[in-house]
Chains A and B, each alone.
Chain A
Amino acid sequence: MDIQSTEYKRCTVIKASGRIDGSNAPELGAALKQLNANGIYNVVFDMTDIKFMASAGWWVLIDVQKSAKPKGGELVLAAIDNGIRDSLKLVGMDSYFKIYDDLVSAVGSF
């Protein structure tokens, strides 16, 4: 999986593309945890190019959120595809993240 990281003044943007499922969710998790290990807890996950997200992916994001919040940080989500967003809402997991329609708004929230 191609994972790109871009640092901004008050947050870091992580971007991945394609599918997130059981085969590659650990890789995404490792990339996000590495940011935490480097003391970065304000993170935007740019989902512009994510076309499919299985529960394995959601659990990675939840784990990261669980690490970030006690440190005063937060993981926010940007540009989620409608199909993915609907499934997220259906299981009530959207309440655990701030969700922005676009990357600019997400970065600007910090």
Chain B
Amino acid sequence: MKKTRKFTGELECLGEVCDFVTDCAKKCELSEAQVYAVQLAVDEAVTNIIEHAYRDRAPEDFEITCEKLPDGFQVVLRDHGKSFDPNSIPEPLLNVPLEELRSRGLGVFLMRKMMDVVEYEFDPEDGNVLRMFKKKGG
């Protein structure tokens, strides 16, 4: 199974993105908890595309490819926005007093925690390419 779909880079697309990814993930023998993890990671990744890669621009399309691999489920997101490397975002400080808690980096942190692989590449032609993988079983 390999499916690709384009979405418009607006926050209102998040529900549709979730439906698409969920539908694909359920065909890959992931447990309910694993499907939720994929939903969350993809939601955070798409929100970053819209809020960072496409910041201060008119909404542009981005693309999601879901693929069933022998050992799990892969999601690849492609956009042509500003280069945005999630690896450049430091881990948020958690387990600190409430008043010291800051929002920066939590989305990326969740992606890393929810998925087994999170890889990023920037190509001048392809743009930002984010690959995430969730192992089945376990």
By a beta-carbon cutoff of 8 Å, the part of chain A in contact with chain B is 19, 21-23, 52, 54-56, 58-59, 62, 65-66, 69, 82-84, 86-87, 90-93, 95-96
Contact = CB atoms under 8 A, between A and B. Distances in A.
A52 B98 contact: no
Contacts of B81: none
Interface of B: 11-12, 14-15, 18, 32-33, 36-37, 39-40, 43-44, 47, 50-51, 94-95, 98-99, 101, 103, 106-107, 109-110, 113-114
6 contacts: A21-B14, A22-B43, A22-B47, A54-B44, A55-B44, A84-B36
Nearest to A87: B40
Nearest to B10: A23
A68 to B, nearest CB: 10
Nearest first, the 7 closest Cβ-Cβ pairs linking A and B are A83-B36, A23-B11, A92-B94, A55-B106, A22-B47, A59-B103, A21-B14
A92 B15 contact: no
Nearest to B40: A87
